Amino acid sequence: MYNYVVRRVGFMAVTLFFVTLIAFAVTNILPGDVALLILGPNATEQSLEALQSQLGLNRPLYVQYIDWVVGLIQGNMGESLRFGEPVAQLIAERLPRSLMLAFAATFIAVVLSVPLGVYAAINQNEAPDVTASMFAFVGISMPIFLWGLVFILVFAVWLNLFPTGGYVSPSEDLVGSLTRLALPAGAMGFALTAYIMRMTRSSMLEVLSEEYINLARAKGMSQRVIVLRHALKNAIIPVITVIAFQFSYAFGGVVVLEEVFFWPGIGKLTLTAIQSRDIPLIQGCIVVVALIYMFSNFAADLLYAYFDPRIRYGGDD
């Protein structure tokens, strides 16, 4: 277990190194001079140069990179050109909102899809299975933002159950915050359900045909015990990967959905940063989103170890 965790952390460090490298390279290779962007097209050669040296842009690239990375490690991500505020502060403000949305969506998806997948598997090729599969396919066959619009139309406009969008901090108004969270999280969760459900179903089917399930039946165990105690704990292991992947995907989907629901999260921030060529902010957003991806996968790896004793006890001797 110790080795396992150490190795995963090692992989994360290496991945992070490449992410910073790419984030830095891409934003520096892209056309457009930061100084020019700040000062506008009418700036003089001299003032441009002065600003460049002030920002350190005339130093060799590797020095700039090292500088940036050292800053990152210290929690200093530079200053946003557009907002004139520290990037770290901008992100710190918006990240929790996006995380809240992504977590809520993943939670809704898991709560819906795992029981559905199990139910479909134990009724293989019968009505419940077919219905659940159809439901899942409908969910997966439309892009997330479209589900957002459908949810707004049905639950906000027609049924008038929830507000159409906006964000309220849960610390200010918990109920208001949750009612505003409901629609975007529901739409995204619904879209994520399909894949997790299909995976749960096929994983359950595989496990249910294992010899140890046969033996459990031969021991006189009831169907309920067999499904919940013997099968699910085995079947959930591959599903965890999918859930982690879907969480990352939800985080990506956030960009569009935040637009639709006026949700001031990291997605909207990234979009603004790109539109305004706010290079420090773009870099900051890339690194943070990459970190989220990595941590969700790391969490999946740890969950594996929790569910699978062969990993937990393997490799540390």
Partner 1 sequence: MSAHTTATESEQSDGPLLDVRGLKTEFRTDSGPIVASNEVSFSLDRGETMGLVGESGAGKSVTARSVMRLIDSPGEITGGQVVFNGEDLLQKSDAEMRDIRGNRIAMIPQDPMSSLNPVMTVGEQIIETIRRHQDVSKSEARELAIESMDDVGIPDAAERIDDYPHEFSGGMRQRVLVAIGFSCEPDLIIADEPTTALDVTTQAKILDLLNEMQEREGTAVLMITHNLGVVAQTCDHVGVMYAGNLVETAELGDLFARPRHPYTRALIDSIPEVDTDYDELPTLDGAMPDLGSLPSGCNFAPRCPHATEACRTGGDPTLDSVGDTTSRAACIHADSLDLSESTVPEVGVGRSDIDRSGEPLFEVHNLKKYFSAGDGVFGNVHLSFGDGGLPTIERRYVKAVDDVSFDVYPGETVGLVGESGCGKSTVARTALRLLEPTEGEVFFEGQPLHELGSTEVRSLRREMQMIFQDPQSSLNPRKTVGQIVGRAMEKHDIATGEEKRERVGDLLERVGLSRNAASKYPHEFSGGQQQRVAIAHALAVEPKLIVCDEPVSALDVSVQAQILNLLNEIQADENISYLFISHNIGVIRHICDRVAVMYLGKIAEFGNIDDVFSPPFHPYTESLLSAVPHANPNRETDRILLEGSVPSPINPPSGCPFQTRCPKKIGDVCETEFPELEAMDQSGHFISCHLSEAEMSERESFITPPKRTETNAADSD
Contacts with partner 1 by CB under 8 A lie at 3, 6-7, 10, 210-212, 214-222, 225, 229-230, 233-234, 307-310, 313-315, 317
Residue 58 or 222 with smaller CB distance to partner 1: 222
- Report the alpha-carbon distance of residue 281 to residue 82 in Å, rounded: 9
Q: At its nearest, how many Å lie between partner 1 and the CB of residue 128?
A: 16
Q: At its nearest, how many Å lie between partner 1 and the CB of residue 311?
A: 10
Residue 10 or 143 with smaller CB distance to partner 1: 10
Q: At its nearest, how many Å lie between partner 1 and the CB of residue 230?
A: 6
Nearest to 116 by CA among 140, 90, 135, 98: 135
Residue 53 or 222 with smaller CB distance to partner 1: 222
Residue 241 or 272 with smaller CB distance to partner 1: 241
Nearest to 240 by CA among 275, 270, 203: 203
Q: At its nearest, how many Å lie between partner 1 and the CB of residue 290?
A: 24
> Bridge-partner residues for 79, per DSSP?
86
Region of residue 43 (phi > 0: left; psi between -120 and 50: alpha; otherwise: beta): beta
Residue 230 or 268 with smaller CB distance to partner 1: 230
Question: Tokens 């700040």 identify what position?
Answer: 38
Q: At its nearest, how many Å lie between partner 1 and the CB of residue 75?
A: 28
Nearest to 9 by CA among 202, 305, 298, 288: 298
Q: Which two tokens stand for residue 102?
A: 């992504």
Q: Do 240 and 304 touch, CB atoms closer than 8 A?
A: yes
